[in-house]
Amino acid sequence: MLKGWKLMRKDEILQTEMKELSNKEKYFSIIESLLFVSGEPMKLKQIAEILECSIGYTKKILKEMMFNYEDSNRGIKLVNMNDEYQLVTKAENSEYVMKILKNSHRQALSQASLETLAIIAYKQPITRVEIDEIRGVKSESAINRLLEKNLIKEAGRLDAPGRPTLFATTDEFLKHFNLQNIKELPSIESIIGEYLDDDNMVKDEVAIEDEIIEEKE
């Protein structure tokens, strides 16, 4: 009888483990879909609320997902930046990714990315904190997107406490706007218009330009 009870107990444990595995795979699929559709980093709290799971359990699922991506031959990986999660392409595939980006000359950028690009172009080299101060909001996501598109690059570190990273535009940026060098930089409207669809309008572009001109003076 004891042997039979042990077998039943073992079977219950196995069923529980299988159910947990099934739930995890379900959450893996949901989170992957959310991050793919979002295109931008998603906060841990937001993901947990959508899944209707606790913060701790959601973080555990995301940690397993990060490990799974790193441990596989997939072309994307899951990254965590201050409890904000995003799907990005793996660095070793950048050479091939850039080929399609170069062919997609008029890829639309978000307003945040366009504002950030304009600020970097006119005030380079510049730190993220300085960009945030000009825009009045955080720019980490926009900077990461511009780095992925190879429009900006890390340009050393500022000789100040914490040695923050400096950002500047790239040769690819010059190619996109048919410039020989940064001295030929056109108006902000030209930079923004190059990446906007005809139906999109960028607000506050004049305000940004005025702010940059004032700081130069």
On whether both 204 and 103 belong to a single domain, the answer is yes
Question: For the segment 66-115, what is each residue's pLDDT rounded down to a tens digit?
Answer: 988 887 788 888 888 888 898 888 878 777 776 666 555 445 677 788 88
**Strand duo 165-169 + 126-127: pairing:** antiparallel
Q: Tell me which of 89, 104, 122 is where a domain ends.
A: 89
Q: Does residue 61 register a pLDDT over 50?
A: yes
On whether both 67 and 116 belong to a single domain, the answer is no
Q: Does residue 210 register a pLDDT over 70?
A: no
| pLDDT attached to residue 15 | 52
How far apart are the C-alpha atoms of 101 and 213, rounded to whole Å? Answer: 31
| pLDDT attached to residue 212 | 43
On whether both 53 and 109 belong to a single domain, the answer is no
| pLDDT attached to residue 62 | 93
Region 138-156 average pLDDT? 90
| pLDDT attached to residue 105 | 47
Cβ-contact 12, 5 below 8 angstroms: no
Question: For the segment 11-60, what is each residue's pLDDT rounded down to a tens digit?
Answer: 554 455 455 656 788 889 999 999 887 777 889 999 999 989 999 999 99
From residue 68, alpha-carbon distances to 56, 80, 92 in Å are: 19, 14, 17
From residue 31, alpha-carbon distances to 42, 73, 203 in Å are: 10, 19, 32
Q: Tell me which of 64, 89, 114 is where a domain ends.
A: 89
On whether both 63 and 135 belong to a single domain, the answer is no
How far apart are the C-alpha atoms of 173 and 195, rounded to whole Å? Answer: 12
Query: Who has greater pLDDT, 206 or 141?
Result: 141
On whether both 170 and 71 belong to a single domain, the answer is no
Long-range CB contacts (within 8 A, 24+) of 77-84:
78/35, 81/41, 81/140, 81/144, 83/43, 83/44, 83/45, 83/59, 84/41, 84/42, 84/43, 84/44, 84/141
Residue 39, phi-psi category: left (phi > 0), alpha (psi -120 to 50), beta (remainder): left
Stated pTM of the model: 0.43
User: In the chain, how many domains are there?
Assistant: 2
On whether both 138 and 194 belong to a single domain, the answer is yes
On whether both 205 and 123 belong to a single domain, the answer is yes
On whether both 15 and 56 belong to a single domain, the answer is yes
On whether both 195 and 156 belong to a single domain, the answer is yes
Q: What are phi and psi of 88, to 5 degrees?
A: -135, 160
On whether both 166 and 125 belong to a single domain, the answer is yes
On whether both 112 and 178 belong to a single domain, the answer is yes
- Range of the structural domain that residue 85 is part of: 2-89
| pLDDT attached to residue 185 | 75
The two structure tokens encoding residue 195: 């990446």
CATH of the domain at 131: 1.10.10.10
| pLDDT attached to residue 100 | 66
Q: Tell me which of 38, 56, 89 is where a domain ends.
A: 89
How far apart are the C-alpha atoms of 54 and 39, rounded to whole Å? Answer: 23
* % pLDDT > 90, the chain: 23
Q: What are phi and psi of 5, to 5 degrees?
A: -65, -40
On whether both 34 and 123 belong to a single domain, the answer is no
Q: What is the CA angle 145-146-147, rounded to 5?
A: 90
